[in-house]
A and B are shown apart, each in its own frame.
Chain A
Amino acid sequence: MKEGKDNKIVLLEDDQLEDLFVSLRQRYGYDFTGYAKASIKRRVQKFIDTIEMESVDLLKNQLLRDEAFFKYFLDEITVNVTEMFRDPLFFASLKKNVFPLLNTYPFIKIWDAGCSSGEELYSLAIFLDEEGLYGKSRIYATDISQRVLDKAMDGIYPIDMMKEYTGNYIHAGGKRSFSEYYTAMYGNAIFRGRLKKNVMFSAHNLAVDESFNEFNLIVCRNVLIYFNRDLQERVIELFLKSLPVFGFLALGNKETLSFSIFRDHFEEIDKAQKIYRRIN
Chain B
Amino acid sequence: MLGKIEAIVIGGSWGGIDAVIKILSALPSDFKPTMVIALHRPKNVVNSLEGILKKYSKVPFSEPYDKEEIKLNHVYLAPSNYHLLIEKNKIFSLDVSEPVNYFRPSIDVLFESAAEVYGKFLAGILLTGANKDGGNGMKTIAGKGGFTIVQDPSTAASGIMPSAALRLIKPDFLGSVHSITELISSGKEFIWQ
User: Which A residues have a C-beta under 8 Å from some C-beta of B?
Assistant: 14, 36-39, 42-43, 79, 81-82, 86-89, 167-168, 171, 222, 224-226, 228-229, 232, 252, 254-256, 258-259
Q: Which residues of B contact A229 (CB under 8 A)?
A: 67, 91
Other A-B contacts than A87-B44, A224-B66, A254-B79, 7 sampled, CB-CB below 8 A, are: A36-B87, A38-B85, A39-B97, A79-B97, A88-B44, A89-B46, A225-B94
B87 touching A37, Cβ below 8 Å: yes
A38 touching B96, Cβ below 8 Å: no
Closest CB-CB distance, B42 to chain A, in whole Å?
11
Closest CB-CB distance, A268 to chain B, in whole Å?
12
Question: How far is it, in angstroms, between the C-alpha of A86 and the C-alpha of B67 when the chains are bound?
Answer: 21
B67 touching A39, Cβ below 8 Å: no
Q: Which residues of A contact B88 (CB under 8 A)?
A: 14, 37-38
Query: Nearest CB to that of B97 among chain A residues?
Result: A79
B44 touching A259, Cβ below 8 Å: no
Q: Which 5 A-B pairs have the closest CB atoms?
A: A38-B85, A36-B93, A79-B97, A225-B94, A39-B95
B85 touching A42, Cβ below 8 Å: yes
Residues from 53 to 88 in B contacting A, C-beta threshold 8 Å: 63-68, 79, 81-83, 85-88
| B98 located at the interface, meaning its Cβ lies under 8 Å from any Cβ of chain A in the complex | yes
Closest CB-CB distance, A174 to chain B, in whole Å?
14
A225 touching B66, Cβ below 8 Å: yes
| B113 located at the interface, meaning its Cβ lies under 8 Å from any Cβ of chain A in the complex | yes
Q: Which residues of B contact A79 (CB under 8 A)?
A: 95-97
A254 touching B98, Cβ below 8 Å: no
Q: Which residues of A contact B65 (CB under 8 A)?
A: 254-256, 258-259
Question: How far is it, in angstroms, between the C-alpha of A224 and the C-alpha of B82 when the chains are bound?
Answer: 13
Question: How far is it, in angstroms, between the C-alpha of A37 and the C-alpha of B95 when the chains are bound?
Answer: 11
Residues from 76 to 126 in B contacting A, C-beta threshold 8 Å: 79, 81-83, 85-88, 91, 93-98, 109, 112-113, 116
Interface size on B, residues (CB 8 A): 27
Query: Nearest CB to that of B113 among chain A residues?
Result: A38
Q: Which residues of B contact A258 (CB under 8 A)?
A: 65
B44 touching A254, Cβ below 8 Å: no
Q: B118-153 vs A: 1/0 string, CB under 8 Å? A: 000000000000000000000000000000000000
Closest CB-CB distance, B160 to chain A, in whole Å?
25
Q: Residue B93 contacts which of A14, A168, A225 (CB distance < 8 angstroms)?
A: A225
Q: Which residues of A contact B63 (CB under 8 A)?
A: 254
Q: Which of B87, B97, B112 has the most CB of A within 10 A?
A: B97
Q: Residue B85 contacts which of A14, A39, A252, A254 (CB distance < 8 angstroms)?
A: A39
Given known A38-B87, A225-B96, contact A255–B46 (CB-CB < 8 A) = no
B96 touching A222, Cβ below 8 Å: yes
Query: Nearest CB to that of B116 among chain A residues?
Result: A38
Q: Which residues of A contact B81 (CB under 8 A)?
A: 86-87
Q: Residue B82 contacts which of A167, A254, A256 (CB distance < 8 angstroms)?
A: A254
Q: Which residues of B contact A86 (CB under 8 A)?
A: 44, 81
Closest CB-CB distance, A93 to chain B, in whole Å?
13
Query: Nearest CB to that of B69 among chain A residues?
Result: A259
